[in-house]
Amino acid sequence: MDLERTKRHQSLKVIISEAVMVISVILMVTILAFVVSGYWVSSDFKIERQGLLQISSFPTGADVKIDGASSWLQRTNTSKVLSSGEHSIVLSKENYDTWEKTINIAEGLLYRLNYPRLFLNNRQSENVFKITGVTAASISHNREIMLLLNDTTEWTLINLNSDLIEAKKFDVSKIFSTVSLASEAKVGLFTGKVLQMDWDKDNTHILFKIDSGTGFEWVLVDIKNPSNSINLTRSFGYDFDTVKIISNSSSTLLATQNGNLHKIDASNKSISSVLVEGIIDFWQYDRDIVISAINDDDTMTDELYYIGSLNLNDNQIIKLASSSIPAKVALGRFYDNKYIVVLAGDKVTIYQKDDFIEMISFELGFDPISIKIGQGGEFIVLSLDNKVASIDMESLKLSEWQIEGNAQFGWLDGYMVYSVVDGKLIVYDYDGLNRRILSSNVSARFPITITNNKWLYYCSDDNLTREWLIPR
């Protein structure tokens, strides 16, 4: 055999083999790049760009039907590649009700459904605490603590996150000015009218706005160490119009007085000089603040109002846009991008925060007075009484809907709202879908909540009642 010829054949085989390997690697990388970008080959061999659906639920492990079809592989919590466009999603689980929604998958993008909730069909209820004499109640952000108020200076804190209900007395006689400590009474009397109760994110402080009959009183109550509570009105001698907690520890607050915005340091009981004049509305996120204010700069524009921002690190005001009418503002974050919401009359506009480029705007069928941003920034809810407009930041889609029975609504958890109509507890997703009646004989006077995905709490007659959301 010709040795040289054999060597040439072997070299040629090596070259061809390496070339095939290189081409295969390039082909595989190209295919993976297309897949990552959302491209796929359909059943009729057409190349189309797809998106990814990420879906979770409570309870987990619910069956998922997509466009009417299901398979044993489709369960929550999981992800699913879908073609771009509309898809119907139905979740079901044995012994639970169903949940459904039509979504729009965008090419090459992720769509998250992380809030669907299925309710146990045959829930057991129990009365866990007597609320005779209770005049008002409030629930912490983590939905684990309930404060019960009455006409005395001895209120009650209840731990909702326990099989065995724990309650302790809470003395407010030395915190508020609106109290009466008559010597013949076993406890003092609370004589003020509670207008507002806001919890901090650490669930350790509550900010109260009280109508004393002669004016407003703002008090920051430390529920763990009541002696550390601070009466803001008494300490600073200001008749504040608005006060908001801006830090998890409640050490920092923002307050307006006669249209002037101040920063309050509750830890050392100090108040800053005026940060902004002519404030109409403001919203804080981290150290950033977005403001709506009266325009006093004639050289900038002849409009009466402006939208601006400032950062608490330098307190420098940046004017972003002018407005012919006063606006309400909000500041949120979705994924890694912050956005600004501007509500002027019946028009709502969403801007990217960093460059203030308009993302989308909507003309609404009513003039909202309230803005709420979802806990993950994934939705915006605008409301007036029982009229609601919801904006889904995943799809930038607007839904307008109405709470039935002209009832106002509250938040059951981070994604669901509720109303009570003729004693019936009715729940909806934030966009008005998946309406369900959960219970009867429910009081509309007190808040309702879900705790630890385990219990549904509401007040009925003279009792705090809970229903088990999981089988016992």
Q: What is the pLDDT of residues 188-232, one digit of tens each?
A: 899 999 999 999 999 999 999 999 888 899 999 999 999 899 999
* Nearest CA-CA partner of 376 in 114, 121, 193: 114
Number of Cα atoms under 13 Å in the Cβ half of residue 275: 27
CATH of 39-113, one of 3.30.450, 2.60.40, 1.10.150, 2.70.98: 2.60.40
pTM for this one? Answer: 0.87
- Is the model's pLDDT at 36 over the cut of 60? no
> Any idea of the CA torsion for 117, 119, 120, 126, to the nearest 10 degrees?
120
Per the structure block, which two tokens stand in for 247? 């830090």
Q: Is 29 helix (H, G, I), strand (E, B) or coil?
A: helix
**Measuring CA to CA, how many Å separate 379 from each of 67, 82, 299, 334, 407?**
24, 22, 37, 9, 22
| pLDDT digits 0-9 by tens, 341-381 | 999 999 999 999 999 999 999 999 999 999 999 988 999 99
Say how far apart CA 231 and CA 220 lie, in whole Å: 6
The predicted pLDDT at position 260 comes to 96
Pick 212 or 138 by higher pLDDT: 138
The predicted pLDDT at position 300 comes to 54
Tell me how long the chain is.
Answer: 472
Pick 269 or 187 by higher pLDDT: 269
- Is the model's pLDDT at 7 over the cut of 60? no
Which one-letter amino acid corresponds to residue 193? K
Q: Among all chains, which residue has been given the structure tokens 């050490």?
A: 251
Which one-letter amino acid corresponds to residue 422? D
| pLDDT digits 0-9 by tens, 224-257 | 999 899 999 999 999 999 999 987 778 899 999 9
The predicted pLDDT at position 45 comes to 47
Say how far apart CA 109 and CA 116 lie, in whole Å: 20
The predicted pLDDT at position 452 comes to 94
Say how far apart CA 69 and CA 213 lie, in whole Å: 62
| pLDDT digits 0-9 by tens, 375-431 | 889 999 999 999 999 999 988 999 999 999 888 899 999 999 999 999 999 999 999
The predicted pLDDT at position 4 comes to 65
Say how far apart CA 200 and CA 179 lie, in whole Å: 24
Say how far apart CA 361 and CA 273 lie, in whole Å: 36
> At 10, phi and psi to the nearest 5?
-65, -40
Say how far apart CA 351 and CA 338 lie, in whole Å: 9
The strand order across the sheet containing 166-171 reads 136-139, 145-149, 154-159, 166-171
Say how far apart CA 150 and CA 186 lie, in whole Å: 14
| Ranges of each domain in the chain | 39-113, 119-170+403-472
Q: Which of 106-115, 279-288, 414-423, 460-469 has the lowest mean pLDDT?
A: 106-115
CA Rg, the chain, in Å?
28
